[in-house]
Each structure stands twice: as C-alpha cells, then as structure tokens.
Structure 1
Amino acid sequence: MFLYREKEISLLKEDFNKPRSSMNFIFGRRRVGKTSLINEYVRNKQTLHLVCFETMSSLLIKEFQKNINTFFNIDETINTKTFEELFAYLSEMKIDSKTIIVFENIQELIKIDKDFLINLNNYWNKYLSKMNIQLIITSSLLPNDFDNLLISKKVDNKIKLKSLSFNVIKEYFPNLDKNETMYLFTAFGTNPEYLKLYDVKKDFISNIKNTCLSFDASLYNEGMNIIKKDLGEAATYCSILYAISIGNNKIGDIADCLNLKSSYLTRYMQKLLDLMLINKVVPLTQTANKSKFGRYEIEDNFLKFWFCYVYTNINSINSNNINNVISYIEQDFSKRLVSSAYKKYFYELLEDENSQFFNYEPIKIGSWWNNKDIEFDFVAYDSKTITFIDCKWDKNEGIENDYKKLEIKAQEFDTQLERKYEIF
C-alpha cells in the first residue's frame, strides 16, 4: 500500500502495458505529493527524469540534453537550441524496451514559454508518439482551458491529485483519541511531510507552537513559500486566501472583507483555481459554469490553518509575543475550522463507505444551499429516495429539535422523492 494512491498507480501500470507510446498528465497543487507518487511508481523501472526549474530556456534545454546523454550513455557534441530540436534529438535515441520519461513541473517551463502546451501537440505527433515510451508530465498548474487544447485529446490519463485521505492520519497515529485526530486533520491536513513533524508526546497546542509559531519553526513560512513559488502579486493572493480561511466563501463576501470590487478579484480567483489551491463548490443540483451560488474553499487544511492563524500574526510571532496568538487559537479553532474539517472527513465516508449510511446506492452526494440561507451539509439521492443530512461536531444534546429543524428546512428543496433525514 502506498498511502492511498493505489488507484493512480494502477492507472499508470495499466497504461504502461499498452503496445504503443502513451502520454499521462498528473496535475496537483504544490505539496500534494506528485513527486512522491512518481518516485513510487517508477521504482525499478527504466526512467529518464527531466525536471523543469526556473531559469532561461536555453539553460533548461542544455540541462535536459545533458540528462538525455547521460541516460542513453551518449558522448554527443550536438547542441540543441529549441525545444523542438530537443524532442527531435530525443526521438533519435535507441530504445530496446519500453521506457518511462518523466517531465516534471512543467508549470516552470510555461512561465518562460507560454505556448509550450500548444506546441507540445506538434512535438508529440512528430517525435514522441513514434518512440516506445510512457510519457508522464506533472504540473501544479491546471489551465482552465486545458480541455480545449489539442494536446488534451492525445492524453491517455489525466490524473488530478487531491489531498490524501483522512485515513492516512489514522495510519500514522493509530493511538490518538478522536478529538486530537480531528484537530490534527484540521491543522496539518494529510501531507506526510507535515504529519512527520507532529510529536504525539506533546499536546496539540504545543505542536502548533513548535511547528508554526516561531520565526525558525519548520512551517512558519510554509504558506508564503507556496504562494511565492507561482504567484507574482503575493499580497493580493495571500489576502484572498486569508479572507477565505476566516469563513468568507462567496466572492462578494471576499470582496467586502478586502474592501474591493468583486470584478477586480475575478482573475485572481481563476489563478488560484488553476493552481488548485482553492476549489469552487456549487449546490449538487447545479453545474459549476452556470451556478450563481459558487463558494470557494481552500483545498488543503494546513494552508487554511496557516492563513487563518499564522499569516496575520507574523508581527506577534517575530517579536516572540505569542501568548495572545495561542489564546486566540484555543478559543477560536474548534468553532471556526474543526466543524468544516469534520464535514470534509464525513464526505469521504459518504463517498467511500456509503453502504454504512444508506439502504440504497446514491446516484449523487453533495452539499446544497439556496439564496434564502437554507443549507444542507449533504444531500444524497437515488431514483426513489432522497436523504437530507446535517453534520454536527461535538453535539451532545438537542438532537430531537435538530431533526425538526432539518425536516422544516427540507421543504425548500423541491422533490417528489421519498424524504429521509439524518444527523451525524
């Protein structure tokens, strides 16, 4: 088992066995585990790695050619000067058995050659598709027009990596109690590199203090580092992520929080979506491109925590005046962030183990809301039955009254299906 990426590895293995060259794209925000997935998959396989980094195109091409020569054991004096020349050169290499070529972090290449994805279609048709290879391309940027590009029609697998399952935490820390496990999920997410920093011998607040709340702590600059890697106007993007982290999910609310016009934010929101740092969620009965009720969520729990509690307290942290910061986290954390993280966890359960919760196989499961402030954490339905679900963290009393409220607000949902109600 490789940390709950079995599905992705299985897709790549199946693709490798095709009797022709194939191309796979792996998209995922920074720190989601693209490189770890690749390293696990290519273990003990013949693999050429070409890793993009921030530099001039001439230097990048030179570095790639050096890697190609080393991999194929060639003492070559020819110098390629363009990417087309490079791929033409690569296509001349003798390959006896199927070889994997990993082209990592192409978002760095797109910064210096904005037409690379357009040109890649030509490179594939003329050179790469005629080789006995499995091409795997990774990127932390998923352009919103990718599906309209010609290259997208040639892709065998388009894999979008999301954060790892909640179960990763239970695997790393099987003896934590339920409350601390949920706190850990809320603040650190499921990135193994973050989880490794958690010391089970210390309490939750001590771990937060040691990893985030000092200028030399491991994760003190993590949120800013992620943003600055791909985004020039860091101040605006960071401000948007802060506004979302404290509960402003509608674009109008985000604009009000920042004292800006909604129209001004549009291109910034799209860039954050392209980088998969945020998700746009709509009611389950609507489609994303048509809905007027879109809400924005930060994809990674840790990034949400960082912007909520570290970003705006940098002055206090740098001056070593963190008692007020800790006090605020202790008072605010559970009600602001843990409830939404619990819903995120519960959605995983509904998706993966729905037979535990329903006596039918749902056609669709998702959240629903309207413009009258009526909202359901989840709605699930098949052709006969619909279930309205509320998720409540740390709720020990008054459940009967909550059921009545759930039944009343469900009248706002127009349906002829048999209605059922659940509170978890």
Structure 2
Amino acid sequence: MKIAGRQEEIALLQSLIEKDESSFVAVYGRRRIGKTYLVRQVYENEMVFECSGVLEENMEQQLENFWRSLNEINPQSQPPLPPKTWLEAFFQLRAYLNTQKQGTKKVIFLDEIPWFETLRSGFLAALDNFWNQYCTKRSDIILVICGSAASWVIDKVINSRGGLHNRLTHRIQLMPFTLGETKAFFELKNVKLSLKDIAQIYMCVGGVPFYLKDIKAGDSVAQILDQLFYHKQAILKNEFQNLYAALFKNNTFHEKIVEALSTKNKGLTRNEIIEIAGVKGGGGLTTVLEELTQCGFIMPIYPINKKKENCLYRLIDEYSLFYFKFIKDGKAKSSWAQITESPGFKIWSGYAFENLCFKHTDQLKKAFGISGVITNAYSYVSKGKDGRQGIQIDLIIDRADNCVNILEVKFHNTEYEVSEAYARQLLDKASVFKEHTHSKKNVFITMLSVFGVKKNEHYLMAVTNQLLIDDLFN
C-alpha cells in the first residue's frame, strides 16, 4: 500500500475488515484531497464493486453507468436488462453479491455519490433500502460512499432527517495533509527538501495531495512554484474556478465570503463579513460559514471572552489566500522570483506562517508537553485608548492548566536575534494583555522561528522558551 500519512483513517478503514458486522462509511472532503485513492489503496483486495457518478448527467445515464459497471465485473452470457429505477439497480447489485464467496468482507464503493442523485431519481431512498434491507442482515458488507461535494454529503447523508438518518456507522472527513504528512509524502516520492522549503510550499498550496503530486526530485522551491502557478500548463493557474464549484451548490456565495476574508489577515466578525462581502445575514450565511469551516477553508476563532458575537472567521486555506494575494485580477507575476520581490510578500509570508501555526496547534501542544490539556487558540488585538498602549499578538494558546503562551512567530531566513527594544516590547505585550483581559494565569512568552532565536541577554530578559519549525512537523 503506497500511501503517506492518513494513519488514523487507514487504521479505521482496516478495522472494519475484522468487524463481525456490516459497515456503512462516508468519506468526504474537498476536491483533490485523495479520497478515492485512500479507499482504493486500503481496500484493494476487498473491493468487489466500484462505480462513480457521472457529472451533470440525467437519471437514465447514471443508471446505465451503474449497470455497465456491474456487468463489467460480472460478465454473463445473458446479462440483465438495464434497470429503469434505482431500486431495480440495487437489486441487480444484490443478486451479484449473492454469488460471491461467503465469509470474507466485500467492499462496495460508490464514488462521487452526489452526482447519482438527480432530480426525483429516488437514488437515496434506494440506497437506504439497500443498506437497511440487505447489508444490515449480513456481516460481510462494507458500503463506502464518497463525494467531493462535501456540503451535499453532510446535508443529505450525515445530517439527513430522511431515510438515511443515523444509518452511517462511520464517517471520515479527509483533510489536507499536515506538515508532517506532507514531508512523508515527499519522502515517498524521493523529493528531498529542507523543512523550511516544505513549509514555504505548504504556505502557498497547503497539504492537498493533488497539488503536490507532480513535484519532482531535485527542483528548487522557485522551480516548483513556477511549475505549479506560472508555466503554460500550470495545474493551479485556473484551479480557483473549479475549487468551490465542485464543493458547494451555491458556490458564488462561498466565494464572496472567502474573498472578503482575504482582505483582513486577522479575520472578520459576522457583521464585518456582511458589510464587506455585500451579503445578507440570516440562516443562509450561517450555513455557508459552517460549510466553509467543515471543509477546512476558514477557522472560527473565539476570543478570550468566548462570546459568540465576537467570533472572528479567519481564512486559512493556503491556496485561496495565495490566489487572492498574487493571482486574481491579473496580479500574477511571471515567476516566483518576482513574487518574492513584491512589496506584499513579506507581509503575506508572515501571515501565512501564522496560519501554519494555527493549523498545527496539536503539534505545538505536543512540543509544550500539554497534549492532554484543554486549550483555546486565538490571536489578540487591542487598540490603545485613554493613554493606554495597544497590542497585537500573533497567536495565543490559552491553557486550562492556568497558563497562557504568547507566541511570537518569525519566518526568517537566519537565526533571529532579539534586540533590547524588542524585548521590552514583548514584556509590554504580556503586561498589557494581562491588564486588558484581567487574566490571573501565568503568561509565558514563546518564540517560534525557522532557525531558532539567539539566547542573548535580551532574549533571557523577556522570552520564556522557544520552539523551532521542526516542532510543527511532529
């Protein structure tokens, strides 16, 4: 099995083979995240039937596709006639399964399931009937459904109030690779890059396997990113036009919100989103925010007071951020070298590195030795008023063990050196933070950098401890 990372998901899928009962699994996630590849790799020896829905085809063509897929693996001198209903199609599948060897697990894999469900087709009712009236009476079936239209899978299957309500036995939301999984993926392809280079690529495209699969051994970061974004056949040049459309039915709404969030690094409140995106509030906006969150495009960040109305929604999808910053509206340069010379590059790289840290708080907690401690991660901005100093903190890890880590994140090319002025600024930040938030917790200042921070007298005066980029890869 050639697959990097995904250890928890692999372990779950493999455990179903040993279960003495049938299982119904939904695997969902964004486009090109590796859902189909994962299922095929894990169940290579157990797969007895696989069929993928056909994009934007009618019920008759979906049924024909299903029938032909079944006949392809079960050739007969007199095959059954093409089904006219989904109920009939699943009965043909049942007849085929009844001919299979008893006592071994059999995987039925229905990929891109949202495309099967055409208007008034009855597909979901027939699927429910197949699972409830056939699979649950056996102990040897693993029914796997999969879809890139994550909002459809969540609404129609996972949160279904109809026939499929509570039918699923397991669900797997496949998210982008972590930094550690990205490193393992590169090693599988014999691509040898430094941790900083891997982080740099991740900051541009995230951990989406499809975006990373064509990276070649021996290429520099500049060559890799030119091939992804700027060459004539670059796979990510026009990816944005397909990304949200593949996931969400009313994708224009989602794109407006994402674009609005791209204008403010620290995030926007719900009211600010309504104002900047020019959209209406209400249930529709709530649904879209939930869908974008579930698919890993945005992150709700609750401030120290944890009041819902003060929640900030932050855009954390690397590709979307890069697209709005350097590609949309003709912003695209001709090469990565030109990007690095642009005025906004340093600001973007600092913010993108912050996002990396927000997405790897589990790894940060492990580095702190507090994996089992409940935490809340957020940034903090307080405007100065009445003669009091304002502060801005990149990342705060607020811990249930009576401690707070204020993280200062530095994406530098060399060892960072703390000056006397910066040390005093850090101490002031901690003091103002405690004053403004009335926190009684112990406040520790932590530096997180690529190549470390020199432990000079100013560092020793202000900084409690430091982490390296290596800690994000654990």
TM-score normalized by the length of structure 2 = 0.74
Counterpart of 1:62 in structure 2 is 64
Aligned partner (choices 329, 334, 352) of residue 341 of structure 1: 352
> In structure 1, how many angstroms separate the alpha carbons of the residues matched to 2:232 and 2:362?
40
| Residues 1:423 and 1:265: Cα distance change in structure 2 (over 3 Å) | farther
Shift of 1:258: 4.0
> In structure 2, how many angstroms separate the alpha carbons of the residues matched to 1:324 and 1:352?
29
In the alignment, is the contact (CA less than 8 A) between 1:25 and 1:159 conserved in 2?
yes
Counterpart of 2:298 in structure 1 is 279
> In structure 1, how many angstroms separate the alpha carbons of the residues matched to 2:316 and 2:51?
28
In the alignment, is the contact (CA less than 8 A) between 1:163 and 1:190 conserved in 2?
yes
Which residues in structure 2 correspond to 1:161-172 (within 5 Å)?
161-171=174-184, 172=186
Which residues in structure 2 correspond to 1:21-100 (within 5 Å)?
21-54=22-55, 55-74=57-76, 75-93=78-96, 94=98, 95=100, 96=102, 97-100=104-107
In the alignment, is the contact (CA less than 8 A) between 1:223 and 1:307 conserved in 2?
no
Shift of 1:7: 0.7
Shift of 1:157: 1.1
Aligned partner (choices 210, 215, 224) of residue 193 of structure 1: 210
| Residues 1:360 and 1:134: Cα distance change in structure 2 (over 3 Å) | closer
Counterpart of 2:229 in structure 1 is 212
Counterpart of 1:381 in structure 2 is 399
> In structure 2, how many angstroms separate the alpha carbons of the residues matched to 1:68 and 1:10?
29
Counterpart of 2:198 in structure 1 is 181
In the alignment, is the contact (CA less than 8 A) between 1:91 and 1:130 conserved in 2?
no
Shift of 1:415: 5.4
SS at match of 2:20: coil
| Residues 1:100 and 1:302: Cα distance change in structure 2 (over 3 Å) | same
| Residues 1:38 and 1:366: Cα distance change in structure 2 (over 3 Å) | same
Of 33-42 and 369-378, the range deviating more from structure 2 = 369-378
Aligned partner (choices 288, 292, 307) of residue 269 of structure 1: 288
SS at match of 2:426: helix
Shift of 1:367: 2.2
Aligned partner (choices 411, 418, 426) of residue 402 of structure 1: 426
For structure 1, which runs of at least 5 residues remain unmatched after alignment? none
Shift of 1:416: 5.3
Aligned partner (choices 166, 175, 179) of residue 153 of structure 1: 166
Counterpart of 2:132 in structure 1 is 125
Shift of 1:58: 1.5
SS at match of 2:193: coil
Aligned partner (choices 317, 323, 338) of residue 326 of structure 1: 338
Counterpart of 1:357 in structure 2 is 368
> In structure 1, how many angstroms separate the alpha carbons of the residues matched to 2:360 and 2:72?
47
Counterpart of 2:147 in structure 1 is 139
The size of the alignment, in residue pairs, is 415
> In structure 1, how many angstroms separate the alpha carbons of the residues matched to 2:223 and 2:52?
38
Of 132-141 and 199-208, the range deviating more from structure 2 = 199-208
| Residues 1:326 and 1:353: Cα distance change in structure 2 (over 3 Å) | closer
SS at match of 1:331: coil
> In structure 2, how many angstroms separate the alpha carbons of the residues matched to 1:214 and 1:48?
39
SS at match of 1:392: strand
**In the alignment, structure 1 residue 393 sits paired with structure 2 residue 401:** no
Shift of 1:374: 7.1
SS at match of 1:155: coil
Computed over aligned residues only, the root mean square deviation of the Cα atoms, in angstroms, reads 3.7
> In structure 1, how many angstroms separate the alpha carbons of the residues matched to 2:29 and 2:108?
19
> In structure 1, how many angstroms separate the alpha carbons of the residues matched to 2:293 and 2:405?
32
User: Structure 2: which amino acid aligns with 1:394?
Assistant: F
- Cα deviations by residue, 1:85-118 (Å, 9 ceiling, x for unpaired): 2223322331323210111111223454587556
SS at match of 1:35: helix
| Residues 1:149 and 1:203: Cα distance change in structure 2 (over 3 Å) | same
**In the alignment, structure 1 residue 422 sits paired with structure 2 residue 423:** no
TM-score normalized by the length of structure 1 = 0.82
User: Structure 1: which amino acid aligns with 2:34?
Assistant: G
> In structure 2, how many angstroms separate the alpha carbons of the residues matched to 1:371 and 1:110?
50
In the alignment, is the contact (CA less than 8 A) between 2:303 and 2:310 conserved in 1?
no
SS at match of 1:20: coil
